[in-house]
Amino acid sequence: MSNTSIYTGGCLCGALRYEARGEPQSQGFCFCADCRKASGSGCIPFMQFPASSVSFTGETKQSFVRSARGGDAVRNRCAVCGSLVFGGPVGEASAHTIYAGSLDEPAFFRPTLAIFTRDKPDWVSMPPGLEMFNTLPEG
């Protein structure tokens, strides 16, 4: 019997699904303007996994914006219902960002950090104990 954690989730209609095995490399909140606009909220709660540990089923519609590091930030939505589900181009990215709101079991999200806190709206409350970064962490 394996002790490997399995995180599952997907879009609102169920047409786009994922399974991530193992523990996330990081998990927290992104307050950058792009994430706020893409989500229609104060931030995007995220969990980052190595691409090799995540599998997807279903069709995506991708959007591209310039990332803070200068490359493309790729967001994947369900091609059927439009739900925002994960980040990173499948088959090209070394890691994928799963948007925690898409988890089947929301309690599996345990944030430890917040990024782009310089862009956090005043009306957003921060959970205690997060490591905070004005922009992106170094490294």
Residues 4-10: what's their mean pLDDT? Answer: 95
DSSP 103: B
pLDDT band at 63 (very low <50, low <70, confident <90, very high): confident
Lowest pLDDT segment from 16-30, 53-67, 98-112: 53-67
Tell me if the pTM is above 0.85.
yes
Instruction: Give the model's confidence band at 49: pLDDT under 50 very low, under 70 low, under 90 confident, else very high.
Output: very high
- The answer to whether residues 85 and 76 touch, using CB atoms and an 8 Å cutoff, is yes
Chain segment 95-112, per-residue pLDDT in tens = 999 999 999 999 999 999
Delineate the domains of the chain, giving CATH numbers in brackets. Answer: 17-118 (3.90.1590.10)
- Residue 26 banded pLDDT, cuts 50, 70, 90: very high
